[in-house]
Every structure is written in structure tokens, then in C-alpha cells.
């Protein structure tokens, strides 16, 4: 499984949804698991993004499917970043 950092920003519609139903965040996490993307850690943050998620997925295609599915709903904008563990990088560089 590969690790990805997902940065997300809620749209006006997304903020309205979360305000009315905060549990929706956890419901979406369950939907992601059905798409093959497992949320390992999730943080609400201040600044340019609203959430930072650390997820695991089989491959880039699974993350792209997730991004297209969530983005098409109009409630969130996503930036997906593949993450390479530092220990693995150091090992490959030696």
C-alpha cells in the first residue's frame, strides 16, 4: 500500500453540509474505504486548507478515482500528494 497526503478545502456547499451534519466527515471516510482508500490520520487545520488526511491506497489510480468522485460532488477541492517515507528514501540513496 502506498501513502498519500490529501489536502482539502471545503466549498461553500461543503461548509454548509458539515455545519448541518458534522458526522458527514466520518461517513465519507467509510465511502473512501469502499473505493480502496483507507484514512490513517485526519486533521482539521487552519490556513489555506481545511483538512489534512494521511491515507493509504493500492495505487495512484485508486487515489484519482477518489479525487474524481469527491470532487464531482462540488463540496470539496482536493490536492493529492504521494508520500515517500524518509527511511525508505535514505535506504535507496545509499
Q: What domains, with CATH codes, occur in the chain?
A: 2-93 (3.30.70.920)
Single pTM value for the model: 0.91
Alpha helices per DSSP H over the chain: 12-20, 24-34, 60-71, 86-93
Nearest-angstrom CA–CA distance, 74 and 57 = 23
User: How does pLDDT run across 49-79, given as a tens digit for each residue?
Assistant: 999 999 999 999 999 999 999 999 999 999 9
Nearest-angstrom CA–CA distance, 30 and 63 = 15
- Which residue in 67, 7, 74 sits closest to 36, CA to CA? 67
Amino acid at each position: 500500500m502506498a501513502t498519500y497526503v490529501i489536502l482539502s478545502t471545503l466549498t461553500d456547499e461543503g461548509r454548509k453540509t458539515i455545519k448541518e451534519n458534522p458526522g458527514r466527515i466520518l461517513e465519507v471516510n467509510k465511502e473512501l474505504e469502499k473505493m480502496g482508500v483507507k484514512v490513517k490520520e485526519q486533521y482539521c487545520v487552519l490556513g489555506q486548507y481545511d483538512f489534512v488526511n494521511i491515507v493509504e491506497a493500492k495505487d495512484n489510480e485508486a487515489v484519482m478515482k477518489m479525487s474524481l468522485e469527491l470532487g464531482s460532488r462540488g463540496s470539496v477541492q482536493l490536492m493529492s500528494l504521494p508520500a515517500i517515507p524518509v527511511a525508505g528514501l535514505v535506504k535507496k540513496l545509499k
